[in-house]
Structure 1
Amino acid sequence: MKHVVLILFLLITLTGKAQTNPIHLIPQPVDVKPLTGKFLLTKTTVISYTQPQSRSVAEMLAEKLSTPTGYGFKARQGRVTSGKTAAPGSIELSLNTTPSAQLGNEGYTLEVSPRAVKLSANQPAGLYYGMQTLLQLFPKEMASKTLAQSTWSAPCVQITDYPRFGWRGVMLDVSRHFFPKEDVKRFIDEIAQLKYNTFHWHLTDDQGWRIEIKSLPKLTQVGAWRVPRVGKFGQLEAPRPGEAPTDGGFYTQDDIREIVRYAQERNVTIVPEIDVPGHSMAAIAAYPELSCTRDTSTKVNPGSNFAEWFGNGTFKMFIDNTLNPSDENVYVFLDKVFTEVAQLFPNSYIHAGGDECYKGYWEKDPGCQALMQKMNMKNVEELQGYFMKRVEQILKRKGKKLIGWDEILEGGIAPEATVMSWRGIKGGIEAAHLGHNVVMTPSQYVYIDLMQGDPTLDPPIYSTVRLKTSYNFEPVPEGIDPKFILGGQANLWTEAINTISHAEYMTYPRAWALADVYWSPKDSKNWAAFVPRMETQFGRADQAGINYARSAYDPMVTTVLKGDKLVATLDAEIPDLDIFYTIDDSVPGQYSPKYSTPIEIPEGPVTLRVITYRAGKPIGRMLTLKRDELKKRVK
């Protein structure tokens, strides 16, 4: 009898664990109801779709399930149900005959039972996002791109899910460093798996023009290439006379079409950016007559310094990188560019930049001054307003809408423009008050090219955006009508990033956190609950060969002066980590002093060393800071 009781106890315990096993998904769905049991994927599992519009998603699911399992699934059309009962071992994708208002165009319902999986949505996009959720329910080995070994089961669950925002984006800058076509497709595929639906493609800047414009061949013959340099961007040597520009590349129009199709298959809209009137050095190197100075010695910038920044947001350019707003030939040029861009990208938006436009050369140019006098302009900011309004009219003639960085508010915003607010949320608030749509992308939350860890551990950049900071971002400011906030996006500028591996390191896990921000309900946000979901995603990324940062485990050190005493406070983003430290030149570990209260740093040649542990094992990188460095951190 005792043995029977013990067996029953073990069965109840194990069953309970199975029922309470956490379901870790990114982004967090709207509603998740765990059920008892699991669905087992086998060689005999049937994948079916009920309408022709669902075929592409079903075939993609079959391929993704086949790659790691080796089962060779094929999707087939037709129901595998008898009445309301699904056939054993089946996965069925269906579009709702009566659309659900709750689900909208991108929502879905997913029911996993021991017998079958049923995924339904109003539109194929919803099926696609439901497929991504289903794939995350299987073991991490399901993310492998080669044959893997696992028990291919998914926990039983009922999920109802739909996005909070319609614009969920990630920007990739390919001007500062060129990324080959296959890298761009890889990046799009990765963000699509996280239910991002917008890929903002920064195609032109001072460091390279990356899109073929057939009517203006020098844009890529000249503008796509610069002299090779290695080192810290902004401190590199300028081009030498006669030096060959061999570093760079561009996308042909066939490349663009291929990437657009690839994105469309993954429900990702590509928003191309042609950055004007500033950030145009690559275009001016090809066609110097477009600038006020008409300097024929202008070269594509290789990462050398050509500006002085004054710390208050103002700056001075040493080289003219700005189009001439008073020259009608500039608008003829832009009409040619946007004609071909509009034909390549089927979405409604074209991003026209508008940021960091230096107007010093405009102030000295007779043509600009004559235009200002003719138009009764009070300042050169109004020249940019005039320019952007002209751009908007060009785009409207192509059937496109203008979106630009928040500087387009200065000098008078174009009537129907959408604003991308990057200098904080102030520009977005102003635009919304004026009745303009806004994409919130403030640098202090979503610039994922900025440091995510301590500057002594990661390559130092001018500022930091911690993972937890990104997770805590709220796109809708208080007092703003949410109808004007289309959503938000993460921005990856690549001055210091020249490989897809490094791009991934900077993107993840911050893009995982922001996936929650843009998709999940506002009231579902819970940092402590996000951490285990992130850690599950680490395992999936390992299987998929995706690079990511573990900076959130690293210790954080801040200092203050209390009188003449230097005091250090230690912390970590991840909750419940143990922090150990030393100031005696020994290596810290679990037998060193454990941090509990702020530490007074003695005078003299002292070095503070700090490391984080979890469950008796080191988990973060060791931080080593001399006393002089600690003093510099005093706030």
Structure 2
Amino acid sequence: MKYSAIILLLLSVCISCQTTSKTVAATEISIVPKPSDMVITEGSYLFSKRTKIFVDNENQKPAAKYLSDLFEKAAGYPIFISETKGNATIIFTEDKSIKPEGYHLEISPKKINIKASDAAGYFYGIQTIRQLLPPSIETANSIEKNWSVPSIVINDTPRFSWRGMQMDFSRHFFSIDEVKTFLNYMALYKLNTYHMHLTDDQGWRIEIKKYPLLTEKGAWRVESSHDITCNELAKTDPSFIIDEQHYHNREGQRMYGGFFTQEQIKEIITYAAERQIEVIPEIDMPGHLKSAIDNYPYLSCTNEAGWGELFSSPACLGKETTYEFTKDILAEIVDLFPSKYVHIGGDEVNIESWKKCPLCQKAIKDHHLKNEHELQSFFNRDIETFLNSKGKRLLGWDEIVEGGLSKDGTMMWWRNWAPTMRDIAAKHGNDMIITPCFEYYFDAKHEATPFEKIYQYEPIPENFTKEQAKHILGIQANLWSEMIPNFKRLQFQAFPRFLALAETSWTSKEDKNYDDFQKRMNLQYKRLEALNIQYHIPPVTGLKDKVAFLDKVTIELNAPLEDMVIYYSTDGTTPSKTSKKYTAPLEFSQTTTLNTIAYRGNVASETKAALIEKQNYLESLNITPKTGALQRWTGVKQFKIVDSVALPKNATYQFVTVINLAGNEGIEQLSMVFKGYFYAEAEGLYEFATKSDDGSLLFIGDKMVVDNGGNHSAIEKNGMVALQKGWHPITIKYHEATGGGELSVSFKAPNGEKQVLKGNVIAHD
């Protein structure tokens, strides 16, 4: 009897090691992307050293190994994999009825069952378990003891088959270890397509054995304009410091660069495949090819590398050597990459050089083409035929549509200002990936492309039929690296926007809910911290860019996220945790510059600054102008930035009733000046705002009220001014650099609501 009692006691101890009765509330669970269907049940499952996984086919082993490796790194012990059920408590089961990449996950206090029909489904089931585990599962040698997951039943399938992220290696390079780290982020959030932008004007980043100069020389550069800008920004923001590991002494010079050998590319592909991620190579052609033309100058129309007005001179499409060169490169690329697609770029080609080239003009004539756009399409189709012969499909940016697109060509739509490219592709039945500049370019400033904007964006246009919608394979975000000189800065640009993209790519439109997502994000931030990700948090709210006051003013600040502490300075210094801590509203009676920052643990927000300006009323004019319109002057290719925009002596004007780009959409180097009068209906403080891509400036008389200068994505800036009742001169200057473009102006009267600047409050002579 004594021995029986001991055995029973040992059995109960063993069972308690494997199970726990704690039931978890829904508010304690954060899974991103949100599953299709989820039910929480009673109790929870506890992992221990005795936990075993049962697998019965090869498709299940990568997912099982991934879970085992997670535990070995964090808990110090692996989860052993068994090919017999025995005493295994994590059971993998094949279920052919489940759609590709989908999974069924059932967790009870005694067992975990994972069902799927393919390797990806099992893997995503494990990633869900990973997110149900404590965030410390992401930390090596964790001190965590309670490795439990809630009892739950989940059925889950993705919305889109293409759930992508892109990294640009040409402008600034990243190491193979950083690539692997990024692939792990993608795996966690169920993204499955990794687009490697490997070549561009600023550097060639992949070994091509037939053309060794591409990496011997083309992978290295002296300081570029992007490097100069980053170094200047780094004087006040260390996140812009260029990664020293990519500097080398070459030929007696300190040069920046690097490249992946073909063996390293194979290593990346294998690592990605183990995480159910397909690697897509991009080799830009026929434009963005300067790093190749620098070393093989016979490729250009003039036998030398160079620049046009905005973009580099492309390869000559009247020379057979161009076709031979690009196919030689692609032959090595298709042998390296098992992916179905090869991306050839095709964007931002300087066709002006082809207009001047007799060989290109002869090619247009010989092949009965209409123009240079059709010449590029002729090249694209020739390259596509070559890729098809190798079992691959051509992929390119939406410019490839302009001269005609073959039935099998696949397009990445990026130009918000060129929706017709998307519509033409849909009409012709071409597949496409949605990656719009205004929403999914994660190199943009967070204020231009905020977290909520990404989450709320719906990638399938309302006017698409069900048949056309089938051709949208999915979505992708891009991390162009001009202003991303190190991996920490890349993290800052990508996160937490990365998670908003992941949810849109996986979760159905009907199941998405921003408020619910924000609640789950409060828990996800802890996981990002465990992963040592330098994520972005929004700046302090409650603060205008310029605050006007007459006698004194009270400023109330708010933290944008939970568990945040605000610090501020008024002496011109950048605030930190050693600055004054905000505890109550601040009162000002003199003009002051207020700088604020918020911390969530050790993660800091961007600094938010405001000019708190004591003003006197600007006097109104004794005039009776014609109401309802302003005068607008328009110029093209006269200025490069809004601060330089000035009216010519003999300016000619149009009358416009609203301030926007109507009739001038998509024009590069566009400048505008709007002038006239604004009516202040009552004496008081008025707030104005401009939202623009690129820069805009708003003046009342000679006083700048809104400074939204610089070339940037669409950003709203605001400012206040004290006005007497009556008419006041108003001027708005605008400049667009690269052909995107957005402009709107609003105002808010004292005690009024924000409204568009139009109607009877504007006037002209």
Q: Same fold (TM over 0.5)?
A: yes
Farther-moved stretch of structure 1 (370-379 vs 242-251): 242-251
Distance 1:114 1:16, change over 3 A: closer
Q: 3-state SS of the aligned residue for 2:363? A: helix
**AA at the equivalent of 1:482:** A
- Structure 2 residue aligned with 1:190: 185
State the distance in 1 between where 2:335 and 2:542 align: 49
Q: 2:485 matched to 1:476?
A: no
State the distance in 2 between where 1:613 and 1:234 align: 25
Residue 42 of structure 2 is aligned with which of 22, 29, 36? Answer: 36
Q: 3-state SS of the aligned residue for 1:72? A: coil
TM-superposition CA deviations, 1:44-64 (whole Å, max 9, x none): 112221223312221221111
Distance 1:621 1:60, change over 3 A: closer
Pairing 1:472-551 to 2, within 5 Å after superposition:
472-480=456-464, 481-550=468-537
- Structure 1 residue aligned with 2:442: 448
Which 5+ residue runs of structure 2 have no aligned equivalent?
1-20, 234-250, 573-578, 614-702, 708-716, 719-744, 746-765
- Contact 1:276/1:354 (CA < 8 Å) preserved in 2? yes
State the distance in 2 between where 1:476 and 1:166 align: 14
Which 5+ residue runs of structure 1 have no aligned equivalent?
1-14, 81-86, 237-241, 299-305, 309-315, 454-463, 595-600
Displacement of 1:611 in angstroms is 6.5
**AA at the equivalent of 2:267:** E
TM-superposition CA deviations, 1:236-294 (whole Å, max 9, x none): 9xxxxx98473211111111111111111111001100011111010101211101121
Residue 426 of structure 2 is aligned with which of 428, 432, 442? Answer: 432
Q: 2:386 matched to 1:398?
A: no
Displacement of 1:569 in angstroms is 12
State the distance in 1 between where 2:559 and 2:410 align: 38
Q: 2:593 matched to 1:607?
A: yes
- Structure 1 residue aligned with 2:450: 466
Residue 123 of structure 2 is aligned with which of 128, 153, 169? Answer: 128
**AA at the equivalent of 2:272:** A
- Contact 2:429/2:471 (CA < 8 Å) preserved in 1? yes
- Structure 1 residue aligned with 2:274: 265
Displacement of 1:623 in angstroms is 1.9
TM-superposition CA deviations, 1:3-45 (whole Å, max 9, x none): xxxxxxxxxxxx9984444310111111110111111111211
**AA at the equivalent of 1:134:** I
- Structure 2 residue aligned with 1:349: 341
**AA at the equivalent of 1:225:** W
Displacement of 1:231 in angstroms is 2.7
**AA at the equivalent of 1:289:** Y
- Structure 1 residue aligned with 2:676: none
- Contact 1:55/1:77 (CA < 8 Å) preserved in 2? no
- Structure 1 residue aligned with 2:171: 176
**AA at the equivalent of 1:497:** I
Displacement of 1:340 in angstroms is 0.6
Displacement of 1:570 in angstroms is 8.9
**AA at the equivalent of 2:583:** Q
State the distance in 2 between where 1:209 and 1:607 align: 45
- Contact 2:407/2:429 (CA < 8 Å) preserved in 1? no
TM-superposition CA deviations, 1:397-436 (whole Å, max 9, x none): 2211011000111122233211100012713233112211
**AA at the equivalent of 1:607:** T
Displacement of 1:506 in angstroms is 1.2
- Structure 2 residue aligned with 1:302: none
- Structure 2 residue aligned with 1:275: 284
Displacement of 1:495 in angstroms is 0.8
For normalisation by structure 2, the TM-score amounts to 0.68
- Contact 1:253/1:344 (CA < 8 Å) preserved in 2? yes
Distance 1:190 1:611, change over 3 A: closer
Q: 2:101 matched to 1:106?
A: yes
TM-superposition CA deviations, 1:67-114 (whole Å, max 9, x none): 21123332111224xxxxxx5x71122222xx11xx311000111101
Displacement of 1:327 in angstroms is 0.8
State the distance in 2 between where 1:125 and 1:203 align: 26
Displacement of 1:582 in angstroms is 11
State the distance in 2 between where 1:577 and 1:147 align: 25
- Contact 2:556/2:584 (CA < 8 Å) preserved in 1? no
Displacement of 1:347 in angstroms is 1.3
- Structure 2 residue aligned with 1:55: 61
Pairing 1:82-93 to 2, within 5 Å after superposition:
90-93=89-92
Pairing 1:112-511 to 2, within 5 Å after superposition:
112-228=107-223, 230-232=227-229, 244=253, 246-295=255-304, 308=309, 316-317=310-311, 320-424=312-416, 426=419, 427-453=421-447, 464-480=448-464, 481-511=468-498
State the distance in 1 between where 2:282 and 2:557 align: 42
TM-superposition CA deviations, 1:471-512 (whole Å, max 9, x none): 112111112132010000110011111222221121111111
**AA at the equivalent of 2:706:** K
- Structure 2 residue aligned with 1:45: 51
Q: 3-state SS of the aligned residue for 2:284? A: strand
Displacement of 1:532 in angstroms is 2.7
**AA at the equivalent of 1:624:** A
- Structure 2 residue aligned with 1:27: 33
State the distance in 1 between where 2:585 and 2:384 align: 63
Higher strand share: 2
Q: 3-state SS of the aligned residue for 1:251? A: coil
- Contact 2:22/2:43 (CA < 8 Å) preserved in 1? no
For normalisation by structure 1, the TM-score amounts to 0.82
Distance 1:588 1:433, change over 3 A: farther
**AA at the equivalent of 2:321:** N
Distance 1:370 1:631, change over 3 A: same
- Contact 1:105/1:122 (CA < 8 Å) preserved in 2? yes
Q: 3-state SS of the aligned residue for 2:100? A: coil
State the distance in 1 between where 2:175 and 2:459 align: 32
Q: 2:706 matched to 1:631?
A: yes
Displacement of 1:127 in angstroms is 0.3
**AA at the equivalent of 1:220:** T
**AA at the equivalent of 1:631:** V
TM-superposition CA deviations, 1:142-200 (whole Å, max 9, x none): 11133332311111110111100000000001111121222112211211221011000
Q: 3-state SS of the aligned residue for 2:371? A: coil
Q: Percent identity?
A: 36
Q: What's the Cα RMSD here?
A: 3.6
State the distance in 2 between where 1:438 and 1:222 align: 35
State the distance in 2 between where 1:438 and 1:356 align: 19
State the distance in 2 between where 1:538 and 1:124 align: 29
Displacement of 1:295 in angstroms is 1.4
- Structure 2 residue aligned with 1:6: none
State the distance in 2 between where 1:489 and 1:128 align: 21
Q: 3-state SS of the aligned residue for 1:386? A: helix
**AA at the equivalent of 1:625:** A
- Contact 2:543/2:610 (CA < 8 Å) preserved in 1? no
State the distance in 1 between where 2:441 and 2:704 align: 26
Distance 1:354 1:495, change over 3 A: same
State the distance in 1 between where 2:353 and 2:231 align: 22
Q: 3-state SS of the aligned residue for 1:154? A: strand
Q: 3-state SS of the aligned residue for 1:246? A: strand
State the distance in 2 between where 1:232 and 1:429 align: 37
Distance 1:188 1:452, change over 3 A: same
State the distance in 1 between where 2:394 and 2:278 align: 15
State the distance in 2 between where 1:522 and 1:587 align: 44
